[in-house]
Structure 1
């Protein structure tokens, strides 16, 4: 994917700085959020069983529900517990011809899921044992494991507390610890 260079890169960086200066308030000056958190993110899968096996057996997120989609007869709607009372949901749509994953506007680039240092180490071992390709600590990234699920969805296992990014607490309240 082509990246900006020279004057174009400088302009992109200046625009980001202007946006940051215009909209980002110091943490103590931010209003409380109107939300209670993400109930679930809903994604589309190609194959229900391979998706269940990946999330439950490889990533360690238990399947907590599997029902028929109320809006599409024959379609499954299922959920995984990804911690902190958050769910990751999937639909399949039998009979639909869905294109393969591609990174595009409005698409999911990746979903970052907070994991403990112990779970991070276990996931890395499971990826290695299963021959699953990933980008991680021994491949240029210190606190993240990046992998694609069987549907092409990017998953980041982030060895960081919720509400914290690169050691800096971004949000407070709820179940986030400072």
Structure 2
């Protein structure tokens, strides 16, 4: 028996209501270019809208002009999607509350998650959206996941409950030492002052 090895998210498809609500939210609020549209090939009563979330992958929405909002908050039962997290830059993150307030969109306010900052709000159909901003940039040649697994190991070793900025900084130092060579024979911390 062998695994089916994943290599990233291809796309995520959500159930929408009418076409214009989807365009107005995903492009008009979240800035995702509307890049493609065709009928839902499995249901001729629906359209299939495609949006670029910023990394060239896709978020797609099935729309139907007869559907309307069915929930104040989409279900969070077992097997349901709790929320969708969208990556944003620090500059954008610092503007989100203002921009949501300008539209009178209720939100959670800033949430410090230790390794990232977050803010939550619902789309027009009650689906929970998170805009998230990492507190770090991974070293060249490494991914955010590389830093996170190393930070997790350091957190466990320290006996801490959750990843904090100290674990991130130390994880980055470990990854740089591991991936970048040096002419120095002793790369330990020094106090030259």
The total of aligned residue pairs comes to 138
In structure 1, what is the Cα distance between the partners aligned to 2:67 and 2:90?
40
Q: 1:102 offset after TM fit, Å? A: 2.0
Is 2:49–2:63's contact at 8 Å kept on the other side of the alignment? Answer: no
What CA distance in whole angstroms lies between the structure 2 residues aligned with 1:159 and 1:79? 24
Compute the displacement of 1:42 (Å): 0.6
C-alpha distance after superposition, 1:112-141 (max 9, x if no partner):
11110122233322201111001121xxx1
Gaps of 5+ in 2: 151-171, 176-193
Q: How far apart are 1:94 and its partner, in Å?
A: 5.1
Determine if contact 1:58/1:123 at 8 Å carries over to the other structure.
no
CA distance change for structure 1 residues 97 and 126 in 2, over 3 Å: closer, same or farther?
closer
Q: Which residue of 2 aligns with 1:34?
A: 5
Task: Give the equivalent residue in structure 2 for 1:169.
Answer: 148
User: What CA deviation, in whole Å up to 9, does each residue of 1:46-65 have, x standing for no partner?
Assistant: 22211211111111111111
- Compute the TM-score of the two structures, normalised by the length of structure 1: 0.66
Which consecutive residues of structure 1, in runs of 5 or more, have no partner in the other structure? 1-32, 172-176
Higher Cα Rg: structure 1 or 2? 2
Q: Which residue in the other structure is 2:187 paired with?
A: none
TM-score (norm: length of structure 2): 0.62
Instruction: Provide the C-alpha distance between the structure 2 equivalents of 1:71 and 1:54, rounded to a whole number of angstroms.
Output: 24
Quickly say closer, same or farther: Cα 1:67–1:104, change in 2 above 3 A: same
Equivalent pair of 1:113/1:158 in contact (CA under 8 Å): yes
Bigger relative CO (Cα 8 Å, ≥ 6 apart): 1
Alignment counterpart, residue 95 of structure 2, candidates 108, 122, 145: 122
Query: Does the Cα contact within 8 Å between 1:51 and 1:151 map onto a contact in 2?
Result: no
**RMSD value, Cα:** 3.0
Decide whether aligned partners of structure 1 residues 133 and 157 sit closer, same or farther in structure 2, where only a CA change above 3 A counts: same
